[in-house]
A and B are shown apart, each in its own frame.
Chain A
Amino acid sequence: MTSELDIFVGNTTLIDEDVYRLWLDGYSVTDAVALRVRSGILEQTGATAAVLQSDTMDHYRTFHMLERLLHAPPKLLHQLIFQIPPSRQALLIERYYAFDEAFVREVLGKKLSKGTKKDLDDISTKTGITLKSCRRQFDNFKRVFKVVEEMRGSLVDNIQQHFLLSDRLARDYAAIVFFANNRFETGKKKLQYLSFGDFAFCAELMIQNWTLGAVDSQMDDMDMDLDKEFLQDLKELKVLVADKDLLDLHKSLVCTALRGKLGVFSEMEANFKNLSRGLVNVAAKLTHNKDVRDLFVDLVEKFVEPCRSDHWPLSDVRFFLNQYSASVHSLDGFRLECGGTIWAHCNLHLPGSSNSPASAFQVAGTTSVHHHAQQFFLYFQ
């Protein structure tokens, strides 16, 4: 006696959250059944393994049919085939588009192309996430990317509107799309300590301040691409290090302001010129695509690492950067020469820097350093 066909169709589509998770995680039916057995469900319900098998298959089949709709979430809302309460619909979509931190860290900043997709089995082996799940996540990134790529308006809003994601998830996707579009290098060993959250935070600020949309929020709202003009303008920051007087003046301003407040004051004073030079050079190079891609690597090399070697605490870095950018405003020459746009622009956001959601990231030892990276962005704004 073998079962040829075994189905269950409810007027309201039954969704089992646990099975859904297993399905999303890319387990085969057999594995899923084994996992469910291990969870003790048989004892709780008095069911047999055969029942569990049939139940799992059934749910998998339903999810498989739903997958097509999940690729375009608004369709899920308007379709007639599956009657699903709205709260469940939201859950289905949210879970489908959720991703693993470990996975996203691997593909962040990579081109979402067929080539990358081929490498997924390596990523799968490395992260322990099933290949199926990797593919789903990758395809999600790609799909979102394709849809919002050419779209005007706020990136986050576009994603939310077309994929009905929660605010948090939409922001994460915005970061992913932004990184993929600009192809920032994030995979270098030096950057491994940075989490996706760190990058997402950076992306958000960059989208707000560095993109075309940020410059002119009324028209031509393109959140994906960096504002070339802005990058061009950054070149003029060179004066900060090229002009010796200016450099000294800047240093003294910063030092005066920070004296006594910084635990690592002497190191800072000694290194000021190096640091300043590093920062400004990174900024000035951004007109080249290649350098844009290496932005994070450069930042870490030129600024974070020196700081780290001197054991700067996080708070000191913050103080320093705030002061560093604030002092620039006092530089008469600078203000006149470069015009206020860049600084005015970034000033808007500087206050945010000090009470940035940093606390959310202060988890491990590495966080202190990632903070530095954040501060840098702020600075560059």
Chain B
Amino acid sequence: MPGKLKVKIVAGRHLPVMDRASDLTDAFVEVKFGNTTFKTDVYLKSLNPQWNSEWFKFEVDDEDLQDEPLQITVLDHDTYSANDAIGKVYIDIDPLLYSEAATVISGWFPIYDTIHGIRGEINVVVKVDLFNDLNRFRQSSCGVKFFCTTSIPKCYRAVIIHGFVEELVVNEDPEYQWIDRIRTPRASNEARQRLISLMSGELQRKIGLKVLEMRGNAVVGYLQCFDLEGESGLVVRAIGTACTLDKLSSPAAFLPACNSPSKEMKESPLVHPPSHGCRSTHNSPIHTATGSRLTQNFSVSVPTLIYTGMGSGSAGKEGGPFKALLRQQTQSALEQREFPFFTLTAFPPGFLVHVGGVVSARSVKLLDRIHNPDEPETRDAWWAEIRQEIKSHAKALGCHAVVGYSESTSICEEVCILSASGTAAVLNPRFLQDGTVEGCLEQRLEENLSTRCGFCHIPYDELNMPFPAHLTYCYNCRKQKVPDVLFTTIDLPTDATVIGKGCLIQARLCRLKKKAQAEANATAISNLLPFMEYEVHTQLMNKLKLKGMNALFGLRIQITVGENMLMGLASATGVYLAALPTPGGIQIAGKTPNDGSYEQHISHMQKKINDTIAKNKELYEINPPEISEEIIGSPIPEPRQRSRLLRSQSESSDEVTELDLSHGKKDAFVLEIDDTDAMEDVHSLLTDVPPPSGFYSCNTEIMPGINNWTSEIQMFTSVRVIRLSSLNLTNQALNKNFNDLCENLLKSLYFKLRSMIPCCLCHVNFTVSLPEDELIQVTVTAVAITFDKNQALQTTKTPVEKSLQRASTDNEELLQFPLELCSDSLHSHPFPPVKATSVDYSSFADRCSSWIELIKLKAQTIRRGSIKTTVTVEKASPVGDGNFRNRSAPPCANSTVGVVKMTPLSFIPGAKITKYLGIINMFFIRETTSLREEGGVSGFLHAFIAEVFAMVRAHVAALGGNAVVSYIMKQCVFMENPNKNQAQCLINVSGDAVVFVRESDLEVVSSQQPTTNCQSSCTEGEVTT
């Protein structure tokens, strides 16, 4: 009996009128935890009841403390009939279970009803007394800290990074149980909310146990997802990176956020070879749980990059043998673990040695009813398979670890696509080699100072490349080889040298597919996948070149399956890495060279493309220093083996059209009227309008090239659903619709946020879903941050006049040409233009015909989460404070509502995070049977999202925090039935509750410890586990 939970119900306010006669309410409260329930007295006839209850005490196991949510139900007492429920509050008490986090939860919580939304608020105080438990075989894992942040949280130091932890639990979905037919929608929704709450508690506990087993004390980059598999059940799964963290001593808390590299060093973690691997609990060998049903398993992986031995500079010379040695060491250290994966996307300097490229794997599965929830082996096996594949892809790239790793699913009926992706990387072998920290610190420091380009260098042997790539000597150190382009799923490393600014690059794609059932459906999807991957990749590559950039960070490719189509959306942040060669241009070639007007058209197009590139370079301030050719040295091996996509010798003519898009050999394309794909492709390249002047956007934590943030932030979620006209749907029309949808959405965002100019949309996260046949839903969550235009960017060496001209691309013009990325000439580039794509053929498409193999170009990535690259957060000159006069300080006298900031980033500009209070992980269902009355679908969803924000803020405030960082909306499932006037929506959000202090305040307070809103009253709540 290791814990005592104490709850006090203080008061309510703004309750709804439950008694029409008196226009008042007789409210009372039920407090439930586990199987124990307490009730308050009925407070008669008031909309603002003051219960002031005694302390309700629950004596419970800490296992239950972790699993169960505290459930508070507000009811209206009725003498004659059943009491009416007003609404509920679920409180996750996990943050109270570890010592450094919150000690008490106290505040106003919105009372939430799944049918009516928020109905008033209730003031609750919750405390936990934990007793020491010395039982070694305990089932709980109290005390393990969880962070959504995908970097080492500020104010902590990583002592050891242990590695990957994962877990999943399954259950039947209450919505699909027989009982659902006879219970009310409210009861059904509540059952679901409760179940998911329970399951995520259980999941977190189990992950915690694994972490303890690995001797860690925290999980960083924790990502929990739900798969609503319908009839087959409900899966809750989570991945994360186990770490041992040390709280930085308080003096450090006062260091400015912009740590100098040397300071960062202290925070660098060591990867510690775990003596006992972190094996999944159910990691039984892959077996045939799916039985007779078909399991199409299918994966394409294409790394795009590099890897080279040492950091640049000194070590470079003794390359060969040393490299081998390193690899050996690294290998041995990492191979002990089942999966050397890291969900982190930003690392302390020196941790990441080389980046190989993106690795990804997808697999199409048919869902089957989960027969035994206690043995979720099937799902486990599926994921294990995929992870295995990722691991081998990484190995093919000469890398032993995968960073920026993430997993996702897309489900439609009984078909499910599982995806995993990450960035193959080589981690610092010194860390892997000796577990002791101190020894290598200084050395590493020296090494580090010279490795600004190290991570770009290829990790594999240039004579034995895993795929054909075009290598040159690094433009920075001139000693190591680098690839021509680099794709990654991680954030831009802090120390990377970037020229100009970055920008958001998206590839969008739709493919129709026939409606089919079961195996036929799965097969059809499997067959489409490689083409989609290939096209997405091509689009990304072309757009990257069009921007004049040479690297992608934060790449996240999402493939969504619907009844009759597949959608692919890839987002990444393009940058120009100084260490990589200047990208070549794009050349268009037509097939029928004899036609004069046609030629003219082509040259017109060509000119337009060249203009666009030039404009973009100006826009993003990309002007690399000129380097004379000799220095660069001759481009390296295998000139023949350029990374060309070889056009397939069409075994199957159908598919050929799909492939035509490629930047194949020149003249490989026939320009025919029906060659819509090619046309469309060129067209879409030129229709991407750059953001209005004063706006930048990226999907990484911070915008490369901007570092003078001011303190104004605005996090937002925007959702759009469009209905396609069902007539004559073609791939082309579909693509155009989808493209327009995304572009218009971005334009709307720019317009809405125009008052914040100059500002940057960071962490732009697009999610696509296909709720019904003809519906496409796009959800965007991002944060707009203002920056100071005038303040010079210190890191940019080439201050360029900011002449932001809107690139006025003529969208009207139809571009009818296939294009080709040409390696030779075209532009007056100072360098020999570089080959466009690196194609590689690694991989295992189990049952793919040979042509598919040719196509494996892909580099997949999924990235999520956030990282903070410590690009000096400028001392908050409280410039943009105008609109946000509410700061972290206690709420002003006349308002009881404190301001809580929310951001998908791991930091708050101009502020210092002083304390992490715990993870916020909330799941809500909202349903309505009066859709029209609530303002239609838009009104319904708008109100619901606003309510979700409100509930997140209320929980954070109750924990004593004033911000949520690494906020993410993981799921937003919206279903409507306008004919019945009904709609339902499920939303799952998570983030880290924190306390932050403005840097400007910090200086003032100086010596006294900023104990912002800690409820100091309750020291008894101290955790003693």
- Interface contact A8-B752, CB-CB below 8 Å: yes
B-contacting residues, A75-90, CB 8 Å: 75, 77-83, 85-87
A11 to B989, CA, bound (A): 14
* A-contacting 9-mer, from B87-95, B454-462, B935-943: B935-943
Within the complex, which residue of A1, A11, A62 is in contact with B740, where a contact is CB–CB below 8 Å? A1
3 A-B pairs with the lowest CB-CB distances in the bound complex, closest first? A5-B721, A10-B716, A4-B721
A-contacting residues, B700-735, CB 8 Å: 714-725
A-contacting residues, B734-753, CB 8 Å: 737, 740-741, 744, 747-752
| In the complex with contacts A3-B721, A80-B954, A11-B949 CB distance below 8 A | yes
- Interface contact B715-A8, CB-CB below 8 Å: no
Return chain A residues, CB-CB under 8 Å to B874. none
Distance (whole angstroms) from the CB of B688 to the closest CB of chain A = 15
- Could you list 16 further interchain pairs (A-B, Cβ under 8 angstroms) beyond the known A1-B741, A6-B721, A7-B718? A3-B720, A3-B722, A8-B752, A9-B949, A11-B716, A12-B714, A13-B946, A47-B750, A51-B748, A54-B748, A61-B939, A77-B895, A78-B13, A83-B899, A85-B883, A86-B894
- Interface contact B754-A45, CB-CB below 8 Å: yes
| In the complex with contacts A48-B747, A51-B751, A80-B953, A8-B716 CB distance below 8 A | yes
One digit per residue, 1 when the CB lies within 8 angstroms of any chain B CB and 0 when it does not, for chain A 38-51 equals 00000001111011
One digit per residue, 1 when the CB lies within 8 angstroms of any chain A CB and 0 when it does not, for chain B 771-795 equals 0000101000000000000000000
A79 to B118, CA, bound (A): 10
- Interface contact A79-B14, CB-CB below 8 Å: yes
- Interface contact B14-A55, CB-CB below 8 Å: no
Residue of A nearest to B689 (CB): A46
Distance (whole angstroms) from the CB of B684 to the closest CB of chain A = 16
Return chain B residues, CB-CB under 8 Å to A86. 885-886, 892, 894-895
| In the complex with contacts A6-B938, A86-B892, A81-B751 CB distance below 8 A | no
Distance (whole angstroms) from the CB of B657 to the closest CB of chain A = 24
Quick check: is A57 within 8 A (CB to CB) of the other chain?
yes
Residues on B facing A (Cβ under 8 Å): 13-14, 108, 110, 118, 121, 692, 714-725, 737, 740-741, 744, 747-752, 754, 775, 777, 806, 883-886, 892, 894-897, 899-902, 935, 937-939, 941-943, 945-947, 949-950, 953-954, 974
Residue of A nearest to B738 (CB): A1
Interface centre among A1, A9, A11, A62, by most chain B C-beta atoms within 10 angstroms, is A11
- Interface contact A78-B896, CB-CB below 8 Å: yes
| In the complex with contacts A64-B935, A80-B950, A7-B719 CB distance below 8 A | yes
Quick check: is A65 within 8 A (CB to CB) of the other chain?
yes
Within the complex, which residue of A11, A50, A77 is in contact with B744, where a contact is CB–CB below 8 Å? A50
- Interface contact B723-A80, CB-CB below 8 Å: no
* 8 A-B interface contacts by CB (under 8 A): A5-B777, A6-B748, A7-B718, A9-B945, A11-B901, A54-B744, A61-B935, A82-B946
Residue of A nearest to B942 (CB): A7
Distance (whole angstroms) from the CB of A343 to the closest CB of chain B = 43
Quick check: is A52 within 8 A (CB to CB) of the other chain?
yes
Interface centre among B716, B896, B901, B938, by most chain A C-beta atoms within 10 angstroms, is B938
Within the complex, which residue of B13, B715, B751, B892 is in contact with A10, where a contact is CB–CB below 8 Å? B715
- Interface contact A55-B949, CB-CB below 8 Å: no
Residue of A nearest to B733 (CB): A1
- Interface contact A46-B692, CB-CB below 8 Å: yes
Return chain B residues, CB-CB under 8 Å to A77. 894-897
- Interface contact B14-A83, CB-CB below 8 Å: no
Return chain A residues, CB-CB under 8 Å to B721. 3-6
Return chain A residues, CB-CB under 8 Å to B900. 83
A5 to B99, CA, bound (A): 45
Interface centre among B13, B737, B897, B900, by most chain A C-beta atoms within 10 angstroms, is B897
A81 to B111, CA, bound (A): 12
Within the complex, which residue of B741, B777, B895 is in contact with A78, where a contact is CB–CB below 8 Å? B895
| In the complex with contacts A80-B897, A81-B118, A11-B902 CB distance below 8 A | yes
A81 to B109, CA, bound (A): 11
Return chain A residues, CB-CB under 8 Å to B939. 61, 64-65
| In the complex with contacts A9-B718, A14-B752, A65-B942 CB distance below 8 A | yes
B-contacting residues, A1-45, CB 8 Å: 1-14, 45
Distance (whole angstroms) from the CB of B111 to the closest CB of chain A = 11
Interface centre among A13, A78, A87, by most chain B C-beta atoms within 10 angstroms, is A78
Within the complex, which residue of A65, A75, A80 is in contact with B110, where a contact is CB–CB below 8 Å? A80
A3 to B715, CA, bound (A): 23
Return chain B residues, CB-CB under 8 Å to A51. 744, 747-748, 751
- Interface contact B897-A65, CB-CB below 8 Å: no
- Interface contact A10-B747, CB-CB below 8 Å: no
A122 to B111, CA, bound (A): 44
Distance (whole angstroms) from the CB of B110 to the closest CB of chain A = 6
A133 to B737, CA, bound (A): 39
| In the complex with contacts A5-B719, A9-B718, A47-B747, A83-B953 CB distance below 8 A | yes
- Interface contact B752-A55, CB-CB below 8 Å: yes
| In the complex with contacts A14-B752, A45-B692, A47-B747, A4-B937 CB distance below 8 A | yes
- Interface contact A2-B722, CB-CB below 8 Å: yes
Interface centre among B741, B775, B946, by most chain A C-beta atoms within 10 angstroms, is B946
Distance (whole angstroms) from the CB of A71 to the closest CB of chain B = 13
- Interface contact B14-A2, CB-CB below 8 Å: no
Return chain A residues, CB-CB under 8 Å to B942. 7, 9, 58, 61-62, 65
- Interface contact B938-A65, CB-CB below 8 Å: no
- Interface contact A11-B883, CB-CB below 8 Å: no
A329 to B777, CA, bound (A): 82
A59 to B373, CA, bound (A): 46
A154 to B724, CA, bound (A): 61
Residue of A nearest to B983 (CB): A5
- Interface contact B941-A5, CB-CB below 8 Å: yes
A287 to B628, CA, bound (A): 104
A85 to B949, CA, bound (A): 16
Return chain B residues, CB-CB under 8 Å to A80. 108, 110, 118, 121, 897, 950, 953-954
Return chain A residues, CB-CB under 8 Å to B719. 5-7
Return chain B residues, CB-CB under 8 Å to A14. 714, 752
A290 to B140, CA, bound (A): 81
- Interface contact A55-B715, CB-CB below 8 Å: no
Return chain B residues, CB-CB under 8 Å to A13. 946
Return chain A residues, CB-CB under 8 Å to B892. 86
Residue of A nearest to B109 (CB): A80
- Interface contact A78-B897, CB-CB below 8 Å: yes
- Interface contact B722-A10, CB-CB below 8 Å: no
Return chain B residues, CB-CB under 8 Å to A78. 13-14, 895-897
A83 to B13, CA, bound (A): 18
Distance (whole angstroms) from the CB of B606 to the closest CB of chain A = 27
Residue of A nearest to B14 (CB): A75
Within the complex, which residue of A1, A46, A57 is in contact with B938, where a contact is CB–CB below 8 Å? A57
Distance (whole angstroms) from the CB of A222 to the closest CB of chain B = 25
A3 to B778, CA, bound (A): 11
A45 to B691, CA, bound (A): 11
Distance (whole angstroms) from the CB of B633 to the closest CB of chain A = 45
B-contacting residues, A54-111, CB 8 Å: 54-55, 57-58, 61-62, 64-65, 75, 77-83, 85-87
